[in-house]
Amino acid sequence: MRLNLKALVISTAAPAVLVLGILSVWSRISVTFGTYFMQAYNSIHPHPFTALHPALTWYEHIYGTLFDMLYAGIDVAFLAGIVGFLYNWIAKRSEGE
Average pLDDT per 10 consecutive residues for the chain, totaling 97 residues: 93 97 91 88 92 87 94 97 96 82
**Total domain count for the chain?**
1
What confidence score (pLDDT) does residue 76 get? 97
**Of 65, 27, 29, 25, which is closest to residue 47 (Cα–Cα)?**
65
Residue type, 30: S
What confidence score (pLDDT) does residue 97 get? 64
Measure the CA–CA gap between 78 and 35, rounded to whole angstroms. Answer: 26
Cβ–Cβ < 8 Å for 51, 24? yes
Output the pTM of the full model.
0.86
What confidence score (pLDDT) does residue 31 get? 77
Cβ–Cβ < 8 Å for 87, 9? no
Range of the domain at 46: 5-96
What confidence score (pLDDT) does residue 66 get? 96
